[in-house]
Chain A
Amino acid sequence: MSEVITLRLLEDSSIHTAIKKCIQCGTCSASCPLSHYMDYTPRKIVNMLRNGMYNEVLKSKTIWLCSTCYLCAVRCPAKINLGEFMISLRRHALSNGYNNAQEYLKLIKTYAEFIEKYGRISEAMLMINYSLKTNPVKAIKMIPFALNLMKNGLLSLRVEKVNDFQVVKTKT
């Protein structure tokens, strides 16, 4: 991994804070509803960064399995917001081409397309587009659920377009 990438990662404020303040108590890992499914627990991820294992962190399943429920954040004795920390790690993984979380990346891409085109999203359309891209068989299995939504007047395939929406074209 190049020095520039490493530096950017370490300068990200939520990552920087975690590396600096974490006391390695493991409260985050014990609180996490998804830590059973992770390859490294959240505590371990912080320790890995401290030990320069940037590649392993950005390649990990862990960073894509956080559901940002913030239980770790409210319990952390060092007051670190690990939810934000995980979002930041995802951003660095995405911008540096780590594409081992294909499903999540497809979801983000579909989501971004809606925002950039309309300024709003339609969950129904998002779910349909995403399922067709990733798992068409599952999309077919969803038909009864979709029909039920339709029966209850909930399956709108329309998205309203936001007027005067220049923000997505802003250079940041």
Chain B
Amino acid sequence: MGMNNSIGYYPGCSCSKNGLAKYYGESTVKILEHLGLKVSEIEDWNCCGSSLYRVIDEKKAYLLAGRNLVLAKKKSVEKIVVPCPACCISLTKTLQKIREDKELEKKFVEVYNTGKEDLSRIVVKHVVDFILNDVGLDKIEENVKNKFEDLKVGVYYGCQITRPYASFDDPEFPSSLERILSTTGVATIESAMKTKCCGGLLMLTNEEEVLKIIEKIMNSYIDRGAQCIVTACPLCHLNLELAKNILMKKYDVRYDIPILYFTQILGLSLGLESRDLGVSREDFEKISRKIVLTARR
């Protein structure tokens, strides 16, 4: 990793300090720093527009997402690391669209004085892709301080992390998270529903339907003994938390398991403090009995 200064970080609204997935963003930055990688937040970034803004105005949605690429380019950033899969899609799609659509490119030159040649070297990567394929498992293994002993972790990818543009893993049966978590000693729990959609924003508009889907997803892990579920998406995390609250009122303790970000488990394993990773005291107590200190050579 020679060119550290060329790595940009795009938190997106959810993972920013005012977002509901603030601890996903914080734990991501903490572990990357801990592993010796300097990532700098893209200054004055704006919302990627998600899938919602494209419903209002398609071209403006690309200009909106593209502003972040232009800002990155100005700072000579070549690789943008993104924790939110939806942001990843918006940025990737915009890059793709600028290459294909001459009219859109013209608009970019007009508004930002930036064309496709200027943006062509930028690569957008989800943080799972970045940790596995750029940082590498060797680097993580060197830095692991604590191993979890017999903690059964349900690994839930959600839908957009590997679909439709990502090429770093299988779109339906990915294994990147299991490989990353294998360094921490946890036992990962497989589920046929690991890339089933959590319902996303429909949780707000169609709660009843979405709750049924999430109940099935959570059951697929809990039935197999999962003691916590990890996610790599702010919206999956929020939806699982919301559903957990509702399901607990209905079924009591069955659904009372921590929903964590994979970066929190990885961070604890690297020896970072739970409070720096945003792991609540309650959740930490549930999983910490499973941590053993590994004596370093």
* A residues lining the B interface (CB < 8 Å): 33-34, 37, 64-65, 67-71, 73-74, 81, 83, 87-88, 90-91, 94, 101, 103-104, 107-108, 111-112, 114-115, 119-124, 127, 130, 144-145, 148-149, 152-154, 156, 158-160, 162-168, 170, 172
How distant is the Cα of A68 from the Cα of B160 in the complex, in angstroms?
8
Interface assignment of B150: CB less than 8 Å from any CB of chain A:
no
Q: A112-B56, A123-B13, A170-B111 are in contact. List 8 more A-B contacts (CB 8 A).
A: A65-B206, A70-B159, A91-B55, A122-B13, A156-B18, A162-B46, A164-B44, A168-B60
B134-184 residues with Cβ-Cβ distance < 8 A to A are: 159-160, 163-164, 171-172
How distant is the Cα of A167 from the Cα of B160 in the complex, in angstroms?
26
Interface assignment of B199: CB less than 8 Å from any CB of chain A:
yes
Produce 1/0 per residue, B5-34, CB < 8 A to A.
000000001101111101100000000000
Contact A123 B14 (CB under 8 A): yes
Contact A115 B47 (CB under 8 A): yes
Closest to B62 in A: A172
How distant is the Cα of A94 from the Cα of B52 in the complex, in angstroms?
12
Contact B19 A145 (CB under 8 A): no
Contact B200 A124 (CB under 8 A): no
B107: A residues at CB distance < 8 A: 170, 172
Known: A123-B238, A162-B46. A103 touches B56 (CB 8 A): no
How distant is the Cα of A123 from the Cα of B21 in the complex, in angstroms?
10
Determine how close the nearest CB of chain A comes to the CB of B284; give it in whole angstroms: 12
Closest to B64 in A: A167
Produce 1/0 per residue, B175-201, CB < 8 A to A.
000000000000000000001110111
B293: A residues at CB distance < 8 A: none
**Of B17, B44, B111, B164, which one neighbours A156 at CB under 8 angstroms?**
B17
Known: A70-B164, A71-B172, A145-B245. A119 touches B46 (CB 8 A): yes
Contact A91 B67 (CB under 8 A): no
How distant is the Cα of A170 from the Cα of B58 in the complex, in angstroms?
12
How distant is the Cα of A119 from the Cα of B16 in the complex, in angstroms?
13
Contact B64 A87 (CB under 8 A): no
Query: How many A-B Cβ pairs are below 8 Å?
Result: 145
Q: Number of B residues contacting the other chain (C-beta, 8 Å)? A: 52
How distant is the Cα of A119 from the Cα of B43 in the complex, in angstroms?
13
Closest to A101 in B: B205
How distant is the Cα of A72 from the Cα of B215 in the complex, in angstroms?
22
Contact B160 A70 (CB under 8 A): yes
Contact B47 A71 (CB under 8 A): no
How distant is the Cα of A3 from the Cα of B87 in the complex, in angstroms?
36
Contact B18 A159 (CB under 8 A): yes
Interface assignment of B75: CB less than 8 Å from any CB of chain A:
no
Interface assignment of B213: CB less than 8 Å from any CB of chain A:
yes
Interface assignment of B121: CB less than 8 Å from any CB of chain A:
no
How distant is the Cα of A118 from the Cα of B195 in the complex, in angstroms?
33
B53: A residues at CB distance < 8 A: 111-112, 115
Produce 1/0 per residue, B41-54, CB < 8 A to A.
00011110101111
